[in-house]
Structure 1
Amino acid sequence: MKSFFIAGLIVGAAVLLSAFILNDWSLLLNVSGSIGLVSLLAAGLFTGAFIDGDRFRANYFSETKENRQDRIRYSTLLLLFALPNLIVAVSYYVVQNYL
């Protein structure tokens, strides 16, 4: 689990370094925000957050316990990867618009 969070930190740091070198700070919002949102949406798809209750209940009773645990594990890993990137994007947005 730590490796996905560390990978997210590395990607966020790489985007930060690229923005510094290119002197284009909007990259922080565009690239880190996009990576974070795509990872967040993928995690939502894995958990079944975008389906209705009947479909979720049908999926719950038709899948095995191992499949359900894998699905939740994948969504957790994606959230851990998305977290540093979303923090970078939100931090840039707050600094740019409110400070």
Structure 2
Amino acid sequence: MKKGFLIGILLAFFLFLFGFFTNLDVFILISGGIGLGCLLVAGLLSGVFISGDKIRANFTTETSSEGQKRYNRMLTLVAVGAPNFLVAILLTMIS
């Protein structure tokens, strides 16, 4: 997760610099796309978009190591996506 957060921060920092100094809307779209995409996939991995019955069924059929891997991937995607999503919001407010 630490690597994912570092990658997310660095990517967001560079996209913010490029977007701030060039005033191009494409950097807002790139940053927002990365952030939204990562957060949506993390939501899919966490089971946010399915019903409670399906969550319980999935929980009983997966092993604890599979659940831990899924949880770690979800946290990594959130750590990459959140800074980029915030940069997209910040660049939108500035421009």
Give the structure-2-normalised TM-score: 0.87
Q: Aligned Cα RMSD in Å?
A: 1.6
Give the structure-1-normalised TM-score: 0.84
Pair 1:5-2:1 in alignment: no
Q: Which runs of 5+ in 1 are unaligned?
A: none
Structure 1 residue identity aligned to 2:12: G
Deviations 1:54-89 (Å, cap 9, x if unpaired)?
111100111111111111111001000011101101
C-alpha displacement at 1:20, in angstroms? 4.8
**4+ aligned runs moved over 3 Å, structure 1:** none
Q: Which runs of 5+ in 2 are unaligned?
A: none
Q: Equivalent residue of 1:30, what SS?
A: helix
Structure 1 residue identity aligned to 2:15: V
Partners of 1:15 and 1:27 within 8 A in 2: no
